[in-house]
Amino acid sequence: MKSSEMQRETLKEAYSPEQFRAAGHHLVDQLADHLTIMFNSEEPKVLPWQTPDQAYQRVKELAQTDAQTVFKETLANCIRLHHPHFTGHQISPPLPTAALAGLLADLINNGMGVYEMGTIGTAFERYVIKTVAHQFGMGEQADGVLTSGGSLGNLTALLAARRSKSSHDVWNEGNQEPLAVMVSEQAHYCVDRAARVMGWGEQGVIRIPVDDDFRMDTQSLGRHLQQSREAGQTVIAVIGSACSTATGSFDDLNAIADFCEANDLWFHVDGAHGAAVSFSEKHRHLVAGIERADSAVLDFHKLLMTPALATAIVFREGHNGYQAFAQKAQYLWSDPESETWYELARRTFECTKTMYGLKVFSIIAEYGTSLFEANVDSLHALSVQFAQLINDADDFELLIQPQTNIVCFRFLGEPMPSVNSQPLNELNQRVRTALIEEGRFYIVQTDIEKSTWLRTTLANSATTLEDLRQLLERIRGLAQTN
Ligand SMILES: Cc1ncc(COP(=O)(O)O)c(C=O)c1O
């Protein structure tokens, strides 16, 4: 065993500013080279595929190396969000400025739960929340917090909804009645998870059918409310999807707002992906009615070029944000009853929080919110062009006209198999697996009813229509050989 003197020396060396300076410069150089290579498409692979066991084996070997080797190997083996062929899940290629903010946040590690542990970070967070509330068209009294992802944001909103709309004090007494929320059957799975976390079980989510464009059939809300009440359930909220995950469809938020107002229900908007359109003059209409929501969530890491995670949860009446968690923690807060905006942990699940606000704020300070608008607009325009490309091709089928940067389609092959047939599903599944293993394009898949569709999220402003033309061509090629 080392003497405590030696241990102290080892620790001192591990914190060496000079080593940090040298390693940091080297890493930033490597990252800048990585960006150049990706943007110039000098690297053929967006996804250097390896099986989970291969990856784990390599990691065990890396444990015997050093941090520089680990960084280099990470870059060589990661999925590359800045590659123009990254068109998979809904996550942004981060802006370098925001990534630098992340490095800064990690090094200073301000804990944020209490004001003293993150004075400037707390103020960044407030500025970002007020900016989002303004974009949503909510008034001065709107307020909220940043949290770790849309899933946690939605759970936080529903905890506040429960506090506000349940006739019992569930926080202190536990569930006394079968509570439920109503949401489109196309909603993200985290809503179902939130209901189960709150102890409402499978019954806690009432799934509202969708129309041909996968938007909630708001006409049927009344019937479902009636049926649930007859079944002894207490519905407390309706959640609008803006947009849905699989197809990028925006529910009619004004119709949901009308319904909630008429029936004294909480109105929450899951805008994790699509509420970003509120930054765009051209596309803001898609979330018309969000200003009437009791609460709404927006992920900066989906469409707004921010490294994961950075989720805003905004309450139209800011004081409702204090209702989600109403605990006393004397050692943290001077007056647990008062609504002090700067004691952030009172309103989030996290106790120690990272400085989410710094990443977003640094983008706003450097480029203004017009950069968010530029990203939303250009990705939407590319999606429309891609949809046209698919429509023009006889051997592909477009699922629906895209409303945002999510485009779903499938390969029909030659000769054309019968629609919805199992062979067609298997063909598309095989092609996607082959694409992944080859690594030159990254797309995902989704099952709609019983059909498999290829799904792209055009997340990268460096992607061109030519890249997407090549994608379709590669699908044709792989379909021949797989
Ligand atoms: C509509 C919607 N809500 C919530 C989530 C979950 O967000 P997060 O991954 O940030 O937890 C997603 C993720 O894809 C989503 O699309």
Span 3-39, pLDDT tens digits: 999 999 999 999 999 999 999 999 999 999 999 999 9
CA gap 152, 156 in Å, rounded: 6
Average pLDDT over residues 132-140: 97
Is it the case that residue 55 has pLDDT exceeding 70? Answer: yes
The atom of ligand 1 lying closest to the CA of 271 is: 1
Question: Hunting for tokens 């000079």 — which residue is that?
Answer: 18
Q: Between 212 and 339, where is the model more confident?
A: 212
The atom of ligand 1 lying closest to the CA of 154 is: 4
Identify the DSSP state of 51: -
Beta bridge partners of 235: 180
The pLDDT value recorded for residue 90 is 95
Which residue type occupies 47?
Answer: L
pLDDT in tens, 301-316: 999 999 999 999 999 9
Residue 153 zone, left/alpha/beta (φ > 0; ψ -120 to 50; rest): alpha
Residue 470 belongs to a domain: no
Q: Do residues 268 and 274 make contact, with C-beta atoms less than 8 angstroms apart?
A: no
CATH classification of the domain holding 184: 3.40.640.10
Q: Which phi and psi (to 5°) does residue 262 adopt?
A: -70, -25
pLDDT band at 246 (very low <50, low <70, confident <90, very high): very high
CA dihedral 65, 68, 74, 80 (to 10 degrees): -170
Question: How many contiguous H segments (helices) and E segments (strands) does the chain have?
Answer: 16, 11
CA gap 58, 43 in Å, rounded: 22
Residue 10 belongs to a domain: no
The pLDDT value recorded for residue 260 is 98
The pLDDT value recorded for residue 482 is 82
CA gap 188, 205 in Å, rounded: 12
pLDDT band at 113 (very low <50, low <70, confident <90, very high): confident
Q: Which of the residue ranges 67-71, 112-116, 364-368 would you say has the lowest mean pLDDT?
A: 112-116
CA gap 438, 411 in Å, rounded: 18
Q: How far is the CA of 151 from the centre of ligand 1 (A)?
A: 6
Residue 170 belongs to a domain: yes
Q: Which of the residue ranges 71-75, 127-131, 171-175 would you say has the lowest mean pLDDT?
A: 171-175
Q: Is 446 in the pocket of ligand 1 (CB under 6 A)?
A: no
Is it the case that residue 417 has pLDDT exceeding 80? Answer: no
Q: Is 270 in the pocket of ligand 1 (CB under 6 A)?
A: yes
Average pLDDT, the chain: 95
Q: How far is the CA of 273 from the centre of ligand 1 (A)?
A: 7
Is it the case that residue 323 has pLDDT exceeding 90? Answer: no
The pLDDT value recorded for residue 326 is 77
Is it the case that residue 448 has pLDDT exceeding 90? Answer: yes
Q: How far is the CA of 248 from the centre of ligand 1 (A)?
A: 12
What is residue 397's three-state secondary structure?
strand
Kindly state the percentage of the chain with pLDDT values over 90: 89
pLDDT band at 429 (very low <50, low <70, confident <90, very high): very high
- Domain limits at 237? 104-366
Beta bridge partners of 409: 398, 454
The pLDDT value recorded for residue 42 is 85
The atom of ligand 1 lying closest to the CA of 274 is: 1
Q: Would you tell me how many other CB atoms lie within 10 Å of the CB of residue 312?
A: 29
Number of domains into which the chain is organized:
1
Q: How far is the CA of 146 from the centre of ligand 1 (A)?
A: 15
Q: Do residues 274 and 248 make contact, with C-beta atoms less than 8 angstroms apart?
A: yes
DSSP labels, 210-264 = B-TTS-B-GGGHHHHHHHHHHTT-EEEEEEEEBS-TTT-PBP-HHHHHHHHHHHT
Q: Which of the residue ranges 186-195, 208-217, 409-418 would you say has the lowest mean pLDDT?
A: 409-418
Q: Do residues 83 and 76 make contact, with C-beta atoms less than 8 angstroms apart?
A: no
Residue 67 belongs to a domain: no
Average pLDDT over residues 384-410: 97
Widest Cα–Cα separation across the chain: 76
Q: Would you tell me how many other CB atoms lie within 10 Å of the CB of residue 409?
A: 25
Kindly state the percentage of the chain with pLDDT values over 70: 96
What is residue 453's three-state secondary structure?
strand
Residue 47 belongs to a domain: no
Average pLDDT over residues 78-85: 97
The pLDDT value recorded for residue 339 is 83
Average pLDDT over residues 205-229: 98
Q: How far is the CA of 189 from the centre of ligand 1 (A)?
A: 8
Looking only at the bridges linking them, the beta strands covering 179-184 and 451-457 are unpaired
The pLDDT value recorded for residue 334 is 63
Which residue type occupies 278?
Answer: S
What is residue 313's three-state secondary structure?
strand
Q: Which of the residue ranges 194-203, 205-214, 407-416, 445-454 would you say has the lowest mean pLDDT?
A: 407-416
Q: Do residues 242 and 253 make contact, with C-beta atoms less than 8 angstroms apart?
A: yes
Q: Is 151 in the pocket of ligand 1 (CB under 6 A)?
A: yes
The pLDDT value recorded for residue 413 is 87
pLDDT in tens, 330-371: 666 666 667 889 989 889 999 999 999 999 999 999 999 999
pLDDT band at 415 (very low <50, low <70, confident <90, very high): low
From 93, 85, 87, 88, select the one nearest 44 (Cα to Cα): 85
Q: Which of the residue ranges 72-76, 391-395, 421-425 would you say has the lowest mean pLDDT?
A: 421-425
CA gap 5, 135 in Å, rounded: 56
The pLDDT value recorded for residue 335 is 67
Q: How far is the CA of 187 from the centre of ligand 1 (A)?
A: 10
CA gap 237, 143 in Å, rounded: 20
Average pLDDT over residues 306-327: 93
The pLDDT value recorded for residue 418 is 56
Q: Do residues 47 and 80 make contact, with C-beta atoms less than 8 angstroms apart?
A: yes
Residue 89 belongs to a domain: no
Handedness of CA 268, 272, 274, 276 (dihedral sign): positive
Residue 375 belongs to a domain: no
> What residue's CA is closest to ligand 1, atom 16?
245
Identify the DSSP state of 442: B
Residue 85 belongs to a domain: no
From 378, 428, 432, 442, select the one nearest 405 (Cα to Cα): 378
pLDDT band at 2 (very low <50, low <70, confident <90, very high): confident
Q: Would you tell me how many other CB atoms lie within 10 Å of the CB of residue 53?
A: 8
Q: Which phi and psi (to 5°) does residue 296 adopt?
A: -150, 145
From 154, 188, 405, give the residue whose CB has the most ligand 1 atoms within 8 Å, as the site to mutate: 188
Q: How far is the CA of 282 from the centre of ligand 1 (A)?
A: 23
